[in-house]
């Protein structure tokens, strides 16, 4: 707890993103919005990963400020959505 929190008597803020995986040691994905929030919220943002959710012994892993801590480990996956218009269809429906 920092000095400001001690004098005000407030509790630190903890924003938690929880990801569950059915197995152990599996990769976890964050959406672009979740990653952006992690960057914006810094030390108040926590990632909780629960491995082996369906098993007898789930394992909890917690990481504070994952955007900073994992910045060198993260792999961005870009998904491109596009619409392909067939050339023959374009010719059929031209004005």
Please report the pLDDT score of residue 2 as a whole number.
Answer: 54
Name the pLDDT band for 10 (thresholds 50, 70, 90).
Answer: confident
Report residue 29 as tokens.
Answer: 């994905």
Please report the pLDDT score of residue 78 as a whole number.
Answer: 86
Q: Which residues have a Cβ under 8 Å from the Cβ of 32 and sit 6 or more positions away?
A: none
What's the average model confidence in pLDDT over 79-86? 85
Q: Using one digit for the tens of pLDDT, what is the confidence trace for 23-70?
A: 998 999 999 999 999 999 999 999 999 999 989 999 999 999 999 999
- Where in the chain are the domains? 3-92
Q: How many angstroms separate the CA atoms of 28 and 31, rounded?
A: 10
Name the pLDDT band for 7 (thresholds 50, 70, 90).
Answer: low
């Amino acid at each position: 707890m920092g000095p400001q929190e001690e004098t005000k008597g407030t509790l630190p803020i903890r924003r938690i993103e929880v990801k569950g995986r059915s197995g152990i040691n599996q990769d976890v994905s964050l959406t672009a919005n979740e990653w952006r929030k992690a960057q914006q919220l810094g030390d108040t943002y926590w990632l909780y990963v629960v491995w082996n959710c369906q098993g007898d012994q789930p394992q909890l892993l917690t990481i504070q400020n994952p955007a900073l801590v994992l910045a060198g480990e993260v792999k961005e996956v870009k998904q491109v959505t596009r619409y392909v218009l067939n050339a023959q269809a374009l010719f059929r429906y031209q004005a």
